[in-house]
Amino acid sequence: MASLVELQGWNPRGHNPYPPFQMNLIGNSDATPLIPKNDIVPPTLAPNSVEFNLQHDDAYCANHLLFDDWFVSSIAPQPTAFGSGGKDIETFYQDYLQGNDQLSNRAYTPIAEDLGLASSAAAERVLETLQSPDGDGWLKVASRLEVEGMFNVNSTSVEAWRALLGHAKSREQIAMHGENGIQSVTPSNDHTVSRGAIASDVEAGSGAAIGGKASNASEYLGFRSLKDEQIEDLAEKIVEQVRLRGPFLSLSEFVNRQLSSNTELALAGAIQTALNNLTDDPMAHLSDPQNNLSDTTMLESDAKLGGVGYAFPESAEGDSAYGAPGWIRQADILRPIAPVLSVRDDTFTIRAYGDSRDANGKVLSRAWCEAVVKRTRDFCEGADAADSTEPPTNETNVKFGRRFSIISFKWLNAKEV
C-alpha cells in the first residue's frame, strides 16, 4: 500500500447492525439522510447514549481518525509473487537506505543523513527504527522520511491543481484484472481513474465487460479515463470549493464534508462536490435513465420518503448506480494523490524590507531580501532527540519547536518585488 485511500475497500463498521450501511468509507465524504447535516450522530441515539451509540456518519469519523494522524510509508515486504518469496521488510528497508531499491510511493525519500548509507550504517538504522527495542519503530520511521513535492490543499491555483490531477497524463497502459490474470490495456483518453491500483475491468463505455455479460456492463464495472478538458474543469471546480470551504486546518477537513447548515457544503467534501458539478460529466451515459443503466432515486418529492422522517432528506437524492466501480468518486481521485497532500508547508519563502531614514523621516535608502527556509526534524536544542515519540522537555524546544534551516538567501531590487 502506498496510500491510506487504498483502505476504502475495508469495512471499519465490522458487524455493526445499525444503519447507515455504506461502502467504500475511507476517502469518501457523502452525507447520509439518517443524520443531520450539521452532526455526525442522529438526534435519537441508538443505543440511547453517546458512549454506546452505534449510529454514526462512519465516513466522516473514519476520515477524521485516519487522515490527521496516520500515513502509509510503503515500507513493506516485497514478494516476488502474491504472498510468497522476495524480501522481508528489514532487508527491503536496508536496500532502500543504501539506494538499491525504491518505495512504492516514489514521493517519499530518506532524509539527507539517511541517503546512500553504507551497508553497516543501513543495518544499524533498521535496528533503530523497524526493530526498535521500544516497539515504536512504526512511529520513528516517519521522522526519517521527507516528501518531495508536498501539495497544500489550500491552494487556489487552478494550474497547480491541474498539474496534480494530471499526474497520470498520457499513461500508455493500465494494469487490469483480465480473463487470464493481470494484463495491461490502453485507455482511450489521457487521464486514467480507477478504484484500485489495478483496475477491476475493461474501460467503462468500451462495451462488454469481463465481469458482466450485458453489452454495456463495462459502464458499471470498468475504469474511466478523462480528457484534458475534464481535468481542467475538475481543477477549476476544486478551487471553487477551496474558496468556499477553506482555509482547511487539517487534512480531514479537506476530505470530509462540512458539518454545516449550508446544504451544499454538508452534502459532500470538496472533491466530491467538484465531481458532481463537472460540466462534461464522465458518468453521463451511466446515469441517463434512458440507457436503462441507472435511474434517479429518492428525490425529495418521492412518495417513498413520506413519513420516513429523514434528518437530511437532500442527501437521499442521487442515482441508483452511484458507487459502482464505473462511477468516479472522491476516493478514486484521492487514492493516488493523498500521500502528497498537506494543509501546511515545511518550506517557506520569506521576503523582508528595510529602509534608512533621516531625522525628518526622509527615506535615504531601501533594501529588500528573500530567504527560503525549511523546517527540519531537529529540535532547536539537541537535548531532545529528533525522532523521539515523546513531547520535548527542553525549555527552548518546548517554546520554539523544530529548527529552521536557510536554504537560500538573496538581495532583491525594487523591480523584483
Predicted pLDDT at 188: 82
> Residue 312 in contact with residue 254, Cβ under 8 Å?
no
β-pair type (108-110, 191-193): unpaired
Give CA–CA dist 297/226, Å, rounded. 26
The verdict on residue 391 lying in a domain is yes
The verdict on residue 271 lying in a domain is no
- Give me 353's grid cell: 524590507
Q: Determine the number of helices (DSSP H) and then strands (DSSP E) in the chain.
A: 13, 13
The verdict on residue 234 lying in a domain is no
Range of the domain at 385: 347-416
- Residue 230's nearest CA partner among 219, 220, 238, 222 is 238
Q: Looking at the DSSP assignment, which residues form a beta bridge with residue 146?
A: 109
- pLDDT in single tens digits along all 417 residues of the chain: 889 999 999 999 989 999 999 889 999 999 999 999 999 999 888 888 888 899 999 999 999 999 988 999 999 998 877 666 689 999 999 999 999 999 988 889 999 899 889 999 999 999 989 988 888 888 888 889 988 888 999 999 999 999 999 986 766 778 878 777 787 888 887 888 988 888 888 888 887 788 877 888 888 888 898 999 999 999 999 999 999 999 999 999 999 999 999 999 999 999 999 999 999 999 999 988 888 888 887 776 777 777 788 899 899 888 999 999 899 999 999 999 999 999 988 888 999 999 999 999 999 999 999 999 999 999 999 999 998 888 999 999 999 999 999 999 999 998 998
The verdict on residue 264 lying in a domain is no
Q: What are φ and ψ of residue 120, in 5° steps?
A: -65, -40
Give CA–CA dist 400/182, Å, rounded. 52
User: Where do the H-state alpha helices sit in 111-181?
Assistant: 119-128, 137-140, 158-165
The verdict on residue 78 lying in a domain is no
Give CA–CA dist 278/205, Å, rounded. 18
The verdict on residue 404 lying in a domain is yes
> Residue 89 in contact with residue 141, Cβ under 8 Å?
no
Predicted pLDDT at 410: 97
- Residue 270's nearest CA partner among 292, 250, 245 is 245
CB atoms closer than 10 angstroms to residue 39: 15
- Residue 338's nearest CA partner among 27, 11, 1, 9 is 27
- Give me 29's grid cell: 465524504
The verdict on residue 369 lying in a domain is yes
Residue with cell 413519513: 307
Give CA–CA dist 333/130, Å, rounded. 31
Predicted pLDDT at 277: 96
Predicted pLDDT at 388: 85
Predicted pLDDT at 254: 97
Residue type, 385: A
Report the interhelical angle of 228-245 vs 158-165 (nearest 10°): 130
Tell me 344's DSSP state.
S
Tell me 316's DSSP state.
G
Predicted pLDDT at 83: 62
* Domain count across the chain: 1
Predicted pLDDT at 417: 86
Predicted pLDDT at 149: 83
Q: Is the pTM of this model over 0.95?
A: no
The verdict on residue 304 lying in a domain is no
